[in-house]
Amino acid sequence: MEEEYSVWALPPPEARNRIKDLMRVLRSEFGGPEFDPHISLTRESASRHLKSASETLSPFTARVSAVSGRHLIFESTPQVMEVSARCCGYFGFKYSRPYTPRSSLLYGELTEEKNERVQKRVLELDQEIVGFTFEVSEIGLAETDTEDKSLKSWEIVEIMKLY
């Protein structure tokens, strides 16, 4: 089987910890595997593209604009959309529908009713999550085996700073 890779926008430690705390509680209440917060080539090709992309990108501000089911939805600012467009361009990826910047808080098969409960719980756990803002100054290359439903094999294998 061929290895699969994803490019992730990496929140700084304080933001990552806040999001991971939400994720931990949601997993304990709703189930699902553990994974690192993030916003999917062969490694050599992906690494080369990631390096090229990171050299043309600047740090950017990410702001949570909504909670939708098990996802944090981020503002589609020109800065965020430009980062996405440039990374997609370097990787030759085209979205089949309009891009919505988001971060999953929970993975697994969830019914619509369970998604609604997760959303309500997120807003109970962190009443100020909508509006939460942080600067992203790193992007990472993650090995993401989509066959591994536990996500235990998912690993960030390379990090590039944005300047």
pLDDT confidence of residue 2:
57
Q: Which two tokens stand for residue 39?
A: 């916003």
Could you tell me the fold of the domain covering 5-161? Cyclic Phosphodiesterase; Chain: A, (3.90.1140)
Question: What is this structure's pTM?
Answer: 0.80
Map residue 124 onto helix, strand or coil. Answer: helix
Cα angle 124-130-134, degrees, rounded to a multiple of 5? 125
**What whole-number distance in Å separates Cα of residue 122 and Cα of residue 118?**
6
Contact present, 5 and 43 (Cβ < 8 Å): yes
Q: Which two tokens stand for residue 112?
A: 């619509």
Q: Average pLDDT across each block of 10 residues of the chain; the chain has 163 residues. List them in order.
A: 72 92 94 75 67 85 96 93 81 78 89 95 97 93 83 87 87
Domain boundaries, given as residue ranges, for the chain: 5-161
pLDDT confidence of residue 9:
83
